[in-house]
């Protein structure tokens, strides 16, 4: 391969020349991103200026409106997206629903593994993620160790636009915090890699190198624009409505009750992420975020744009915490190292089926990491409001496309704590929404689309 080309200072015209020479219409391009954290903003925006179109882009998501991948989408330069999540960009969602852009949607852990296999020269892999869902349709399946699994082919890209923290003049690279995400795997799976870095040094410590020079072709000094354009904003728990605040409070209490001696617990995007604000160090819970953080703490006073949770909210790092890439994150999940995951849900059935990624004709945020989490985590907890638009979300059978079959163990809502058992739904606790316990139970039963058995010790929510 030879020594990589090093561009020591941000040089717009020189980088544009590299783009025009190496990125051609119709090519497959890898652009790592996680809610536009860890995206090579300069490289992607300069690619948008070339007007190169017909691109097939491998990315985790659709970027932000007008920024990163979102700018290529708005320009009409992308023919097809291979992603796991759409809802980062409302413009992209509208274009997809109007049939103006083609999207192949994959579970997040499956997508990153496709890249990882591509970079390692493997043909593909089998995974239990997505069994019994729309993801399985039309794909080869096989029973392995008594478990049905789906085959996915490996992915490679012609060009990778990679974001890293630091590189040396030999082409070795170090990534940074949760900005690592898809970058390492995408670089390895690309035939030609252009890497945007914040710092260029003479030599890196050999023990601390994440990506070796064998994978790098061009190193470009960043302009630093991402620091202003991709700032992370804090959302306070108090900003949630009363119902969601109750969900968060009761879910945090359930976690502490289920795992008094500590556990690794993943918090999914949306309402579950707010649980981090209520767990304390003495609770001995190690929170995991699938974008590459184990030991996630509550939102900090000082925000770091490269330490975020799975919803792009600011996060802190607890003692013993660590950063890693998305390959390691989903290997941790699929490998059974996560004791529990807390996710939101559109519908949950009496047998533990979950639907939480699409409402046909209304909402299609994408699959994200949910399918991997419900397949790999030992305990699945759904934290959601009891009803939506006055209609039950807990049903005898889900009506929406499934995220997983028979995977849910606990449902925490603003009105009830429900356990899913082989005998059906068991009501353990209720909110005081009527004059007494019996009346509250009957009211909750009327708002539930499945039969509820009562625990012998059913009671009001504990504080």
| Same domain membership, residue 159 and residue 214 | yes
* Residue 227 belongs to a domain: no
258 & 214 share domain: no
Residue at which a domain ends, from 221, 255, 272: 221
Residues 397 and 266 in one domain: yes
Q: Are residues 210 and 247 in the same domain?
A: no
* Count of domains forming the chain: 2
Report if residue 231 sits inside a domain: no
| Per-residue pLDDT, 97 | 83
Residues 6+ apart with CB under 8 A from 309: 267, 273, 276, 289, 291, 293, 296, 315
Q: Which residues contact 446 (CB under 8 A, 6 or more apart)?
A: none
Residue 234 lies in a domain: no
Antiparallel, parallel or unpaired: β 424-430 and 263-267: unpaired
- Which phi and psi (to 5°) does residue 97 adopt? -65, -25
pLDDT for 343: 98
Residue 233: inside a domain, yes or no? Answer: no
Q: Please give the DSSP secondary-structure letter assigned to residue 67.
A: B
By CB atoms closer than 10 A (0-12, 13-18, 19+), residue 412 is buried
What CATH number corresponds to the domain at position 199?
3.40.1080.10
Q: Name the token pair of 60.
A: 């985790």
290 is catalytic: yes
And the tokens for 315? 């996060």
Q: Is residue 228 assigned to a domain?
A: no
Query: What integer pLDDT is reported at residue 289 of this predicted model?
Result: 97
Torsion, Cα 89 187 129 97, to 10 degrees, reads: 20
Of the residues 113, 274, 290, 306, only one is catalytic, namely 290
182 and 214 inside one domain: yes
Contact 339, 377 (CB under 8 A): yes
Q: Domain span at residue 164?
A: 5-221
Contact 118, 156 (CB under 8 A): yes
According to DSSP, the residues that pair with 265 across neighbouring strands are 287, 340
Per the domain annotation, does 236 fall within a domain?
no
Among the three residues 221, 255, 275, which one is the final residue of a domain in this structure? 221
Is there a single domain that holds both residue 252 and residue 188?
A: no
- Considering the domain architecture, whether residues 311 and 163 belong to the same structural domain is answered as no
Per-residue model confidence as pLDDT tens for the chain (463 residues) = 578 999 999 999 999 999 999 999 999 999 999 999 999 999 999 999 999 999 999 999 999 999 999 999 999 999 999 999 999 999 998 888 888 899 999 999 999 999 999 999 999 999 999 999 999 999 999 999 999 999 999 999 999 999 999 999 999 999 999 999 999 999 999 999 999 999 999 999 999 999 999 999 999 999 999 999 999 988 777 678 999 999 999 999 999 999 999 999 999 999 999 999 999 989 999 999 999 999 999 999 999 999 999 999 999 999 999 999 999 999 999 999 999 999 999 999 999 999 999 988 787 889 999 999 999 999 999 999 999 999 999 999 999 999 999 999 999 999 999 999 999 999 999 999 999 999 999 999 999 999 999 999 999 998 7
Please report the DSSP string for 321-387 in residue order: EEE--HHHHHHHHHTT--SEEEE--SEEETT--EE-S-BTTTB--B-TTHHHHHHH-SEEEEE--SE
Any domain includes 411: yes
Same domain, 335 and 212: no
Residue in 211, 230, 179 with CA at minimum distance from that of residue 45: 230
Cβ atoms of residues 48 and 72 within 8 Å: yes
Of 160, 187, 221, which closes a domain?
221
Same domain, 417 and 294: yes
In a domain, 195, yes or no: yes
Q: Mark whether 70 and 115 lie in a shared domain.
A: yes
**Residues 351, 203 share a domain:** no
Please tell me the predicted confidence (pLDDT) of residue 1.
59
Residues 212 and 253 in one domain: no
How many CB atoms are located within 10 Å of the residue 424 CB?
A: 15
Nearest-5° angle of CA 309, CA 313, CA 314? Answer: 85
């Amino acid at each position: 391969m030879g020594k990589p080309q090093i561009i020591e200072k941000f040089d717009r015209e020189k980088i544009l020349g590299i783009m025009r020479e190496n990125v051609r219409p119709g090519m497959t391009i890898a652009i790592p991103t996680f809610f536009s954290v860890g995206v090579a903003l300069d490289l992607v925006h300069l690619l948008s200026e070339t007007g190169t179109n017909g691109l097939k882009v491998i990315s985790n998501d659709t970027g932000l409106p007008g920024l990163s991948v979102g700018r290529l989408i708005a320009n009409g330069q992308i023919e097809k997206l291979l992603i796991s999540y759409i809802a980062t960009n409302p413009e992209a969602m509208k274009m997809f629903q109007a049939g103006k852009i083609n999207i192949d949607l994959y579970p997040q852990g499956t997508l990153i593994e496709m890249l990882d296999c591509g970079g390692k020269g493997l043909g593909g892999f089998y995974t239990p993620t997505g069994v019994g869902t729309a993801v399985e349709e039309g794909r080869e399946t096989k029973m392995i160790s008594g478990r049905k699994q789906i085959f996915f082919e490996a992915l490679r890209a012609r060009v990778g636009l990679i974001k890293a923290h630091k590189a040396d003049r030999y082409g070795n690279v170090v990534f940074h915090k949760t900005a690592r995400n898809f970058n390492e795997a995408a670089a390895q799976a690309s035939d030609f890699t252009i890497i945007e870095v914040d710092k260029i040094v003479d030599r890196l410590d050999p023990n601390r190198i994440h990506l070796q020079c064998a994978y790098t072709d061009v190193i470009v000094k960043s302009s630093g624009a991402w620091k202003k354009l991709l700032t992370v904003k804090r959302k306070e728990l108090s900003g949630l409505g009363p119902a969601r605040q109750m969900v968060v409070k009761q879910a945090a209490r359930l976690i502490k009750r289920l795992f008094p001696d500590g556990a690794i617990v993943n918090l999914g995007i949306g309402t579950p992420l707010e649980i981090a604000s209520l767990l304390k160090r003495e609770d001995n819970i190690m929170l995991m975020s699938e974008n590459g953080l184990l030991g996630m703490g509550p939102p900090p006073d000082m925000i770091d744009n490269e330490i975020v949770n799975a919803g792009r909210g600011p996060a802190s790092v607890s003692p013993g915490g660590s950063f890693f890439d998305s390959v390691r994150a989903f290997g941790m999940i699929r490998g059974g190292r996560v004791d529990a995951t807390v996710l939101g849900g559109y519908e949950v059935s009496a047998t533990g089926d979950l639907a939480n990624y699409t409402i046909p004709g209304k909402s299609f945020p994408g699959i994200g990491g949910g399918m991997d989490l419900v397949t790999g985590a030992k305990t699945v907890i759904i934290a959601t409001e009891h009803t939506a638009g006055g209609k039950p979300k807990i049903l005898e059978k889900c009506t929406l496309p499934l995220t997983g079959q028979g995977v849910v163990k606990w449902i925490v809502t603003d009105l009830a704590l429900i356990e899913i058992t082989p005998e059906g739904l068991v009501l353990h606790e209720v909110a005081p929404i009527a004059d007494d316990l019996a009346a509250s139970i009957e009211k909750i039963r009327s708002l539930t689309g499945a039969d509820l058995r009562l625990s012998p010790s059913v009671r009001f929510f504990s504080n």
